[in-house]
Amino acid sequence: MSRYTSVTDADRRAMLEQIGVGSVKELFADIPQGLRLERPLALEEGRCEQEVYAELRALAKRNVSTEDELCFLGGGMYDHYVPALVDAITSRSEFLTPYTPYQPEVSQGGLQAMFEYQTAICELTGLPVSNASLYEGPSAVVAAAWVARAETGRRRLVVSRGVHPHAREALRTLAHAWEMEVSEAPLSDGCTRLGELDDEVAAVIVSQPNFLGAVEDLQAAAAAAHDAGALCIASCDPLALALLRTPGECGVDIAVGEGQPLGNHLAYGGPSFGFFATTQRLLRRVPGRIVGETRDVDGRRGFVLTLQTREQHIRRERATSNICTAQALNALAAVIHLSWLGRRGFVELCELIVARTAYARERLAALDGVSPLHERPVVREFALTLDAPVGEVIERCAAAGVNPGYALARDYPEHPDGLLVAITERRTRADIDRLAETLGAAVAAARTRSATGRGAT
């Protein structure tokens, strides 16, 4: 039978007989009547392949990419240049098509890639243990929180308001299932203000830098957490770790983060990967899998799955995680990108971005009607306050082919006219000058319209 031919009526009867069911309808007997459609699906008449292609092309043209406009959006996903080498290697069938190394002894290439990735993450974070990746940044934060709960036995999490809104939302969702309490530590002048921590706190969770772009004092956060007997979890921008003190140096117990800035395209927001690194003490609580290096009976270097704490393997109901598939291909892209840059190149990339960010921050803050939201040091993005409706300003900039940044009011209602601006190596000084010109004109026009409207009223 062709694999493109659906099952026949005879096939269905045979399957139903095999499982002891009289009809397909009986399979859905437990579904409440009110949830059943009870009518055929209202599907359009089928189209030929050429017509479908034309329809999809028309839909695709409605999208605007960072290749079509000058983009200063950030907030966890960044428009970095991805060298052609990354796609060339990750597109090889050895990496692109395999699923997961259920037979590690014949998956040496894939395991080595994971091992090299783990090594790179350990070097970035300054921590001795890394797993072979997680799904993405927010789920990595949640996984770290679960480790803290298991390690301390406590049921309260203190999360900085500067942690990515998606991570905080995911944390609250899972904490409800874990019967845990989540409380937010407020921001003051852009940075986290922890306050007193009691003996019920399992972990303190902060970001480095935080969502408003401010560089946090990780060492102080770790010290406060440890004084209360809690763990310190830092959600880090991996690129910023090229210049800032590593989480390990600051005493952080678990460092996690979004890996997209490392060799992964924006691709409509995914897929990407989450990284997870921790101390030796927490090794056996690490979610997912860890690849180790060994020697075979002939003394040759080899790689093995050292720890697999997932439910599909020997841990079963005692598993510390239900992570079933590491984002190995996306993690491979990261280690290729890091290898392509090299140690010095990675630092130089961050230095370039810091310099351009400083220039952009100074240039934009000098505009009439624009001021910094905080004065803290920043790395690659910074928050501004506009003396004009930020939504209108963004629309005016977009009409000029510029996306000036992210409207903070969506996640931070206390900053109704806040704008988060992100810089990458793809944004030149000329691009920043164009942003300043466009943003200044948009703010001025929006202020004039608002003043005229008030006068008319």
Question: Residue 435 has what pLDDT?
Answer: 98
Question: Residue 1 has what pLDDT?
Answer: 46
Question: Residue 416 has what pLDDT?
Answer: 96
Question: What is the Cα Rg of the chain in Å?
Answer: 25
CATH superfamily placement of domain 342-456: Aspartate Aminotransferase, domain 1 (3.90.1150.10)
Contact 263, 273 (CB under 8 A): no
**Whether this model's pTM surpasses 0.85:** yes
Rounded CA separation 26/19 (Å): 11
pLDDT in 10s for each residue of the chain, 457 residues = 456 667 888 998 999 999 999 998 888 888 998 898 888 888 888 889 999 999 999 999 998 889 889 999 999 999 999 999 999 999 998 888 877 776 767 788 889 999 999 999 999 999 999 999 999 999 999 999 999 999 999 999 999 999 999 999 999 999 998 899 999 999 999 999 998 999 999 999 999 999 999 999 999 999 999 999 999 999 999 999 999 999 999 999 999 999 999 999 998 888 999 999 999 999 989 988 899 999 988 999 999 888 776 555 556 666 666 665 668 899 999 999 999 999 999 999 999 999 999 999 999 999 999 999 999 999 999 999 999 999 999 999 999 999 999 999 999 999 999 999 999 999 999 999 999 999 999 999 999 887 776 544 3
DSSP state of 317: G
Question: Residue 425 has what pLDDT?
Answer: 97
Contact 190, 207 (CB under 8 A): no
Measured between its terminal Cα atoms, the distance across the chain in Å is 74
Question: Residue 455 has what pLDDT?
Answer: 42
Boundaries of every domain in the chain: 84-337, 342-456
Question: Residue 106 has what pLDDT?
Answer: 75
| Domain with residues 84-337, CATH architecture | 3-Layer(aba) Sandwich (3.40)
The CB density around residue 452, as the number of other CB atoms within 10 Å, is 10
User: In this structure, which long-range contacts are made by residues 451-454, counting pairs with CB atoms below 8 Å and at least 24 apart in sequence?
Assistant: none
Domains 84-337 and 342-456 share a fold: no
User: What is the β-pairing status of strands 402-403 and 129-130?
Assistant: unpaired
Question: Residue 163 has what pLDDT?
Answer: 98
Question: Residue 314 has what pLDDT?
Answer: 58
Question: Residue 311 has what pLDDT?
Answer: 52
DSSP state of 308: E
